[in-house]
């Protein structure tokens, strides 16, 4: 009998295969990013119907094949239902998933990335936190975890001291302590500028979800610049 393995992770994306199946990409604690097939997951009444959608986090029992895995059962501990009920939060969440799909690799140690993704999605649902701040923290920390953080971008005008402190805190703090502070609107604007420089320098893929987010964040930047 084929042996099963157990992994803990989150579904990053899903696509239909054939008439009833799904192919999903899971970011796992044990094996990095993996692809898996969920047989019959699109059939009404399938036990895999609800548990093979993006944002589902939990435990997955898998059979290992030559080029992909097959899901036999799931135990989902967080569906992140709140993200599905708020359009703006859903856009941010889908961007985070797309970024993780870009950054992570199979058979790599992606524990910190998975932790960052989970905590960032939780922060999106926190009423006391700005979604745009969550985004910039996520982007800067993902870069740092990936070993690509180059230091603050050089520019003629000095950054606010609070901005420098915020970036250093993001880079050097554990993921669990990331979402424990707020910033002024001016610091938020500088964080957005820093994140823009990093993204343009290190991300060479056009993110579909980013186009929608940029429209949302443009409104925020315009408001901050107008207030300043």
Tell me, yes or no, whether 59 and 117 share the same domain.
no
Indicate whether 100 and 153 sit together in one domain: yes
Same domain for 89 and 191, yes or no, is yes
| pLDDT value of residue 210 | 85
- Residue finishing a domain among 19, 49, 78: 78
Count of domains forming the chain: 2
Cα–Cα distance between 10 and 87 in angstroms, integer? 20
Is residue 87 located within the same domain as residue 168? yes
63 and 85 share one domain: no
Residue 40 and residue 107 in one domain: no
Q: Of 78, 93, 110, which one is at a domain's C-terminal end? A: 78
Are 72 and 110 in the same domain?
A: no
> For residue 75, what are the β-bridge partners?
59
Domain hosting residue 165, numbered range: 81-227
Cβ within 8 Å of residue 197, ≥6 positions away: 153
> Do 119 and 153 fall into the same domain?
yes
Whether residue 103 contacts residue 207, with contact meaning beta carbons closer than 8 Å, is answered with no
Which one of 53, 78, 103 terminates a domain?
78
- One digit per residue, the tens of pLDDT, for the chain of length 228 reads 567 899 999 999 999 999 999 999 999 999 999 999 999 999 999 999 999 999 999 999 999 988 789 999 999 999 999 998 888 899 999 999 999 999 999 989 999 999 999 999 999 998 888 999 999 999 999 999 999 999 999 999 999 999 999 999 999 999 999 999 999 999 999 999 999 999 999 988 888 888 888 777 665 554 544 455
DSSP annotation of 47 reads: T
Question: Is there a single domain that holds both residue 174 and residue 97?
Answer: yes
Query: Do the Cβ atoms of 133 and 158 come closer than 8 Å?
Result: no
CATH number for the domain spanning 30: value is: 2.40.50.140
Structure tokens at 138: 């996520």
pLDDT of residue 222: 47
Provide the pLDDT for residue 13: 96
**133 and 44: one domain?**
no
104 and 215, same domain (yes or no): yes
């Amino acid at each position: 009998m084929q042996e099963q393995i157990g992994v803990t992770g989150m579904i990053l994306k899903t696509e239909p295969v054939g008439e009833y199946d799904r192919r999903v990409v899971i970011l796992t604690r044990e094996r990095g990013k993996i692809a898996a097939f969920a047989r019959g997951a699109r059939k009404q009444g399938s036990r895999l119907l609800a548990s093979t959608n993006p944002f589902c986090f939990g435990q997955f029992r898998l059979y290992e094949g030559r080029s992909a895995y097959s899901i036999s059962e799931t135990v989902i501990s967080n569906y992140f239902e709140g993200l599905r009920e708020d359009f703006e939060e859903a856009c941010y969440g889908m961007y985070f998933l797309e970024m993780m799909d870009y950054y992570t690799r199979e058979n790599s140690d992606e524990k910190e990335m998975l932790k960052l993704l989970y905590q960032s999605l939780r922060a999106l649902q926190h009423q006391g936190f700005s979604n745009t701040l969550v985004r910039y923290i996520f982007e800067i920390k993902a870069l740092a975890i990936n070993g690509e953080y180059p230091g603050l971008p050089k520019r003629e005008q000095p950054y606010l001291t609070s901005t420098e402190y915020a970036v250093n805190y993001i880079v050097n703090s554990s993921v669990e302590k990331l979402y424990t502070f707020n910033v002024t609107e001016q610091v938020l604007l500088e964080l957005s500028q820093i994140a823009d420089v990093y993204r343009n320098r290190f991300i060479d893929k056009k993110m579909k979800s980013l186009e929608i987010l940029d429209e949302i964040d443009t409104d925020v930047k315009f408001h901050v610049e107008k207030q300043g």
